Every structure is written in structure tokens, then in C-alpha cells.
Amino acid sequence: MSYFSDIINGTKSLLTGMRITGKYFFVNFLTRRDVITEQYPDNLETLKMFDRYRGEVTMYHNENNEHRCDACTLCEKACPNGSIEIVSDKKLNPETQRNVRYIVKHIYHLEMCTMCGLCIEACPQDAIQWGQNFHHVQYDRGKLTKVLNKPGSTIMSKTKEKK
Amino acid sequence: MILNVFTDIHNLLLGLMSAKVAHITELVLIGVAYLGIFAVLGLFLVWLERRVAGFFQLRLGPNRVGPSGLFQTIADALKLVTKELTGTVKADKQLYKIAPYFVITTALMTMALIPFSHEIQAFDINIGIFFLISVSSIGVLGIFLAGWSSNNKYSLIGGMRTGIQMISYELSVGMAVVTMVVLAGTLQISEIVELQKGGWFIFTGHIPAIIAFMIFMIAGTAESNRVPFDLVEAESELGAGFHTEYSGMRFAYYFLAEFVNMFIIASIAVVLFFGGWLSPFGITDAIPFAGLFWFSVKVIAVIFIFMWFRWTFPRLRIDQLLTLEWKYLLPINMVNIVLMALLVWLGLTF
């Protein structure tokens, strides 16, 4: 007699499936409550990415316009496709009377970056980190090449503030 | 009122030319009108499918081009028209080119029988339902030819599966229809609808009508090659199945025909079970065009059930497909016909 119970059970399970999908349909058709579509250019002001989103590489600056980068170039070496170029120079530290390296420009080519994150892993000072900005549209490719250290910024004093 | 428009056109044509020429002109006019309906309907249903699919999957679906994205499919169709018609070198060129027209012609021929309202039905013969079923089975030929002539193994498998599937499920559709014909006692479509003035067949026919409706919906889904019976296309196994090698407008013919076939199956369901153009309890019998409105509402409701199936059930394997038809639907159907005949004989219908 499994023939008839098969039919009844089959119909029942199909109806269960239809009840679930039907609930999804009617809730979204009537209220749009669970719709996950982001209507991208329209909701640009309200759209916020989650914390771990890899939007672009940024350099952390504190309120005194200081960063942690000591121009070690480990990020430049870690980058697999040469998206990072570091222009550095040496200057005399008046306290210790030794030449200290500092960055002139930390150049970041967003147009080449694959968001692999190797530079951020490589950085011993945690100077660079992920930014959540995703809206990178430009009409000119050159505008995607960015200088990460802000103009006039200096390195933080070596009393290493733990992040 | 709409009847008056038709009579006016008829009289105008008679005034301009002889009776024979006027008749032929009318046929051409109706043909053109139905081609228009075919295109508009196909595009509308594609839009509806995508929109409904969106809501099922927590998306919005197309909503940019025109109000609620209504013109999206028109834009898509324009794109397909402008595309190049490609084909394989080793394809059987003539069959390859002619195959889509089998599908289109069949869909158009069956559409002539659909009663959009009391006044709008192009071809109302006394063997309507019989004609409908027999003509609609020609459509298989188009799909089969496409699979065969493409000279591509995926297309061929798709085409062969069509043969298996259509021959099996044609039987169930036919027998479900016969069950309702037993209740109606006529094959003429307009008469079948008129008979339901006292109550739709799904209510007057008791349990056998409901069973017949369920079988018709299952077999109808298989007939129109939709999920969960889309073994013919089976994107994950066969690329695109029988229309793998088709591009541009020839592909669009298949695409539109698939949706129009769904409309036809839904219309038959509405005519046989839900009283065609009749309003529930005769509430709007006096208003002109109301028939068209009720017919559209019912057909869209049935089409929605087909779409509901599509976004709920996974595709069947070929052996499951055949088991379902030959071991379950067919025996149930046969018992059901006898049951319905008994009901009619004993006068137990409402």
C-alpha cells in the first residue's frame, strides 16, 4: 500500500515547499520587507559597507595629522603587481644625531590593486588598513592613483601606541 | 459593443470589395492581429516571469526601463532582432532554419481557439478541444527538428528528451481534458464556457474535477517544458538543450513560443475548470469588456501557479519523469475518468 501513501506524502511535501516559497513571494510582493537588492547609484548616500569590506587601502592618520609609516617598503615588496610605490628620503634626527628614513609619498595605484591584502598583512607598524569606500568611479584613470599620506603629515613618535 | 466594432469593419470591407475578397482580407487582418497579440503576450509574460522570480528570490527583478520595468523585455527583443543569425557549419541548413516556425505556427494556430471573451474568439469549431490538443502536439516537431538539425550532441539529447517527454505527457493532458469533456458533454469551447454559467466545472465536478485539474497542471507544466520538467533545456546538463545553436531572432522565437505555450495551457485550464470569461456569480455580466478582464485575471492567476512551481521544485531526472507519468498520473487519470463518468451517469454533479 506504499503506492497511495507515496502519492499522499509526495503531494504533502510539494505543498510544503510551495508554502515556503509562496510566503517569500507574498511578503516581498506586498511589503518588500526582505528584499536584499541594493539599487546602487540611487542609494549611494545611505549605502554603508560592512567593516571587513575591502574597498581600498588607506593610511591611518590621527588627529595631529600623524601616521605610523616609517618607509620600510615592506608593503611595496609584498605587492604582487606593483600597485604601491614609496618615495622616501632621509633626514637628520636632532635628538639622536642619526639619519632617519621618512616617506615623501606613499603612492597607491587603485586601478591596479586586486584587493589581495598582502601589503596590509606585511606592514609591521599597522600603518595601512582597509577602507570601506567602494564608489571609485572616475572618468580618468590617472585619478585612481592616490597618495596615501596626507600633505604635511609626520610620523608618530616611537612610543608605540598599540592599536 | 466590441461586437459592433467587428460588424462595422465587416460592413466597411463588404462595401469596398466583393464578398470573397472581403473574407480573405478579414482573415489576413485577424492573422496580423493575432501576431501582434502573440508578440505582446510573449513579451509581457517574460517580464512577468522575471518580476515574479525576483520576488521569490528576495530580489526586485527588472524595474528600470519604463514603469516597473515593463519595457525591459521590449528592449531585449530589440537587441535580439539586431543580432546576427549564426549557425553551425555541419547543421542541416534547411531544417535548422525552418524549425522555429513549427513552434511559432503551432502556438498561433492554438491561440486562434482561445476565447478571450464572449465576442473575441477567432475560430470556434464544434471539435474545438480536440483540434486544440491535436494541433498543439505538432509543436514537438519544431523542438525535435531543432535538436536534430543543429548537429550538436547537446541539442540532440535535448531533442530526444522532448520526444520522450511530450509523448508521455500528451497522454495525461488529453485524459485530463477528456475527463472534463465527459462532464461538459461537448467539445466546442464557447459551449463549454456557456455551460459553466451555473457554476464552474471545478466546483460542479466534485473530486474528479479537482483531481483532473491537478493532473492537468502537472502535465501542462511538462507540456510547456517548464521547470521542474525542463529536461529539454536543462541548462546545467545540456548548455541550452535543443536551442543551443540558435541565436538572435530564431532563439527569440523559441523563447516567446515557450511563454505563449504556457499562456495557452493556462487558457485551456481556465476554460475547462474556471469558467473562461464568465465572472464569478455573474456579477459583471452587463458590462462590456468584462469578459476580457475576467479571462485575463484567471489566466494570470493560473500562470502564476506555473511560475510558483518553477521557483519551488527542482528538476526531475528522466527516469523519475517517466515513473511519474506512467506509474502515477496515467492510472490515476484512468480511474478518474471512470469516476467522472459514474458521477455524470448518476446525475451527482451540481
> What is residue A159's predicted lDDT score, i.e. its pLDDT?
56
Please tell me which residue, B22 or A16, carries the higher pLDDT value: A16
Q: Cβ contact (<8 Å) for A24 and B308? A: no
> What is residue B240's predicted lDDT score, i.e. its pLDDT?
78
Q: Out of B52, B59, B313, whose CB is closest to A35?
A: B59
Q: Tell me the per-residue pLDDT of B120-147, one tens digit each, with 9 for 90 and over.
A: 777 788 888 888 888 888 888 888 888 8
Q: Which amino acid would we find at residue B341?
A: A
Mean pLDDT of B31-52: 89
Closest-CA distance, B310 to chain A, in angstroms, reads: 10
Q: Cβ contact (<8 Å) for B311 and A21? A: yes
Q: Is B255:B107 a contact under the CB 8 Å cutoff?
A: no
Say which range, B7-11, B214-218, B309-313, has the weakest mean pLDDT: B7-11
Beta-bridge partner residues of A154? A66
- Which residues from A are below 8 Å from B60, CB to CB? 32, 35, 37, 39
Is residue B1 very low, low, confident or very high in pLDDT (cuts 50, 70, 90)?
A: very low
What chain A residue is nearest to B228 in terms of C-alpha separation? A14
Q: How far apart are CA A153 and CA A128, in angstroms?
A: 14
Q: How far apart are CA B172 and CA B217, in angstroms?
A: 10
Q: Is B274:B305 a contact under the CB 8 Å cutoff?
A: no
Closest-CA distance, A12 to chain B, in angstroms, reads: 13
- Which residues from B are below 8 Å from A18, CB to CB? 308-309, 312
Q: Which of residues 90-129 of A touch B (CB under 8 A)?
A: none
Instruction: Give φ, ψ of A154 to 5 degrees.
Output: -125, 170
Beta-bridge partner residues of A102? A89
Q: How far apart are CA A124 and CA B267, in angstroms?
A: 71
What chain A residue is nearest to B54 in terms of C-alpha separation? A25
Q: Are strands A66-67 and A154-155 parallel, antiparallel or unpaired?
A: parallel
Q: What is the mean pLDDT of chain B?
A: 85
Q: Rounded to 10 degrees, what is the CA torsion of B252, B111, B180, A8?
A: 10
Q: Is B56:A34 a contact under the CB 8 Å cutoff?
A: no
Mean pLDDT of B266-283: 84
Closest-CA distance, A54 to chain B, in angstroms, reads: 24
Q: How far apart are CA B330 and CA A144, in angstroms?
A: 66
Of B309, B223, B209, nearest to B264 (Cα)? B223
ipTM: 0.79
Instruction: Give φ, ψ of A57 to 5 degrees.
Output: -85, 130
pTM of the model: 0.82
HEC profile for A87-103? Answer: EEEEEEECCCCEEEEEE
- Which residues from B are below 8 Å from A14, CB to CB? 312-313
> What is residue B350's predicted lDDT score, i.e. its pLDDT?
67
Q: How far apart are CA B262 and CA B198, in angstroms?
A: 28
> What is residue B289's predicted lDDT score, i.e. its pLDDT?
73
Residue A75 CB neighbour total at 10 angstroms: 25
Closest-CA distance, B181 to chain A, in angstroms, reads: 25
pLDDT < 70 positions in chain A: 158-163
Q: Reply yes or no on whether the pLDDT at B320 is more than 60.
A: yes
Q: Tell me the per-residue pLDDT of B80-90, one tens digit each, with 9 for 90 and over.
A: 888 888 877 88
Mean pLDDT of B141-154: 86
Note whether A23 contacts B: Cβ–Cβ < 8 A.
no
